[in-house]
Amino acid sequence: MSWVSVYMHMVFSTKNRVPYLNTKELRKQVFQHIKANAAEKDIWLDCVNGHKDHAHCLIALGKEQTISKVAQLIKGESSFWINQNKLTTDKFMWQDDYWVVGVSESHLKYVRKYIHNQEQHHSKKSFTNEVNGLMEKYGWSYVKE
């Protein structure tokens, strides 16, 4: 029997960072759906939250799952569901790209807290500043294509 424990913190934004998820009620509904849909697809989504223009997910990869496939399943189905249920006035889309970093089991409680506190966090900091801070923290630089 295989045993795998690989956690990742995934962040993805709405297309062009449009603030589609502009109410707490809408965000709650979308994030609850993302969590339920992930469970149906055997994706262990530990927690999910976000703000008006992005989402954070703490995910434990299964032994046959890849980052790109999990991102595709979560983002693709949720945008389809949002549009199918007409939860936004304009057509909803997630940005193609995403940001992912591995998370040590010793840091899980800190990442969970960070994800759960997105409302409070973004009352002080923009998404751009958040991403830039994460890029700096992990020593990544943005490469324009």
Tell me whether residue 110 is in a domain: yes
Least confident piece of the model among 9-23, 33-47, 115-129:
115-129
Would 136 be classed as within a structural domain? no
Say if 145 falls within a structural domain.
Answer: no
Residue 115 lies in a domain: yes
Find the domain containing 91 and state its range: 6-131
- Please report the pLDDT score of residue 144 as a whole number: 45
In tens, the pLDDT along 57-72 reads 999 999 999 999 999 9
The total number of structural domains in the chain stands at 1
Report pTM. 0.86
Both tokens of 6, joined, read 């690989």
Q: Does the residue 54 lie in any domain?
A: yes
The CA distance from 12 to 53, in Å, is 9
CB 34 within 8 A of CB 74: yes
- Residue 141 maps to a domain: no
CA dihedral 106, 111, 117, 120 (to 10 degrees): 110
CB contact at 8 A, 87 and 29: yes
What would the two tokens of residue 123 be?
């009352």
**Rounded Cα distance, 91 and 50, in Å:** 19
The enclosing domain of 20 has a CATH number of 3.30.70.1290
Q: Which residue type, as a one-letter code, is found at position 3?
A: W
pLDDT in tens, 79-109: 999 999 999 999 999 999 999 999 999 999 9
